[in-house]
Amino acid sequence: MCSSQNAPVREPLRTCVGCREKSTQRALCRLKLAAGTVVVDDKGSLPGRGAWIHPTSSCYDNAQKRHAFARAFKTQKANAEALGHWLIERGHMASTSHEGG
């Protein structure tokens, strides 16, 4: 007989649009496209397609250079300037490393 009581709890993995590394949801920020602007979905409750990113300047810069936001949201343009401001306000832009999952 199989017993699920002893099975380890596995957390879903998501891929960062900046560095393309897989990490747990806790290590990433969920993003959503709202009226052409990339916004952070803090609660993870906004409907529709989402994207995930490590809250670091290196992942943000890589995603910007690779046009990864537009690709992730399957649109022509995705303004991520507000995301950059959000990261700066929270002090994340000073960090350039992240812990993989």
In a domain? residue 101? no
Q: What is the pLDDT of residues 17-38, one digit of tens each?
A: 999 999 999 999 999 999 999 9
- Residues paired with 34 in a beta bridge: 37
In a domain? residue 8? no
Q: Is residue 91 classed as helix, strand or coil in its secondary structure? A: coil
Tracing tokens 């007989």 back to the chain, one arrives at 1
The CATH number linked to 34 is 3.30.1230.10
In a domain? residue 99? no
Domain count for the chain: 1
Question: Position 19: which residue type?
Answer: C
Q: What is the pTM of this model?
A: 0.79
Euclidean distance between CA atoms 46 and 101, whole angstroms: 24
pLDDT, position 101: 46
In a domain? residue 3? no
In a domain? residue 4? no
In a domain? residue 53? yes
pLDDT, position 93: 67
In a domain? residue 7? no
- Domain range holding 81? 13-94
